[in-house]
A = this chain, B = another copy of it.
Amino acid sequence: MPEFAAQPVPPMRIAFDAAAATLSPEGPTLTRRMSDLEGLFADHDAWRDAAEGENPVVYSVVSSPVPEEDRELPQSITTIQPGTTGGEFWMTKGHQHPNHQGEIYLGLHGAGGLLMFDGERTEWIDMAPGVIGYIPPGWAHRSVNVGDEPYSFLAVYPGGAGHDYGWVLEHGMGHRVIAGDSGFSLTDYTR
């Protein structure tokens, strides 16, 4: 039955520890330091001071062994550290899928948010453990840690969707997530 011959990726058993925010076995890990986030915070001077100073790790992404290839369905766990730069909560770079396909995030630990932007409209989903945030095809998305401990979530996404980070640099994300006396607020993205 050659029409159903297996693809190169074998069936896999992956241990998912929601409390520890780990996948085992692991695939590649991506680490984003402040210096990797140029052009994303409104306060460029505050960003540069942080990047040229301690240059902290802002977030990391640990992948499962399922590769980012068309027709596969990889997973990853992102952990965003708590912090602000120029009053703006720490966040992921954000991206658009060049090949428009949906994605889900499942909150695992901490308090975060899922910011989505379709070029005109902004949507925000409060994320917490046990919340699934659904990102429909065509919506750029960014995650934000709005708490004072690490925020972690599991992502499941089609391997052929791709990541376009330039779209966010060009179009923004509609709103910024600003720290206030009692939590956070969303403000217009003035460019």
Task: Indicate whether A130 reaches chain B with its CB closer than 8 angstroms.
Answer: yes
Task: Indicate whether A145 reaches chain B with its CB closer than 8 angstroms.
Answer: no
Partner of A138, one of B6, B119, B134, B167: B6
Task: Indicate whether A121 reaches chain B with its CB closer than 8 angstroms.
Answer: yes
- Which residues from chain B contact A121 at a C-beta distance below 8 Å? 6
- Which residues from chain B contact A64 at a C-beta distance below 8 Å? 132, 134
Question: Interface of A with B (CB < 8 Å)?
Answer: 1, 4-7, 9-18, 23, 64, 66, 71-73, 75, 96, 100-104, 106, 114, 116, 118-121, 123, 125-126, 130-140, 156-159, 167, 171
Instruction: Kindly report how many copies of this chain are found in the complex they form together.
Output: 2
Most buried by B among A12, A96, A114, A123: A12
B133 near A102: Cβ-Cβ < 8 Å: no
The contact sample of 6 A-B pairs, CB cut-off 8 A, is A4-B140, A6-B118, A6-B139, A15-B132, A16-B132, A72-B137
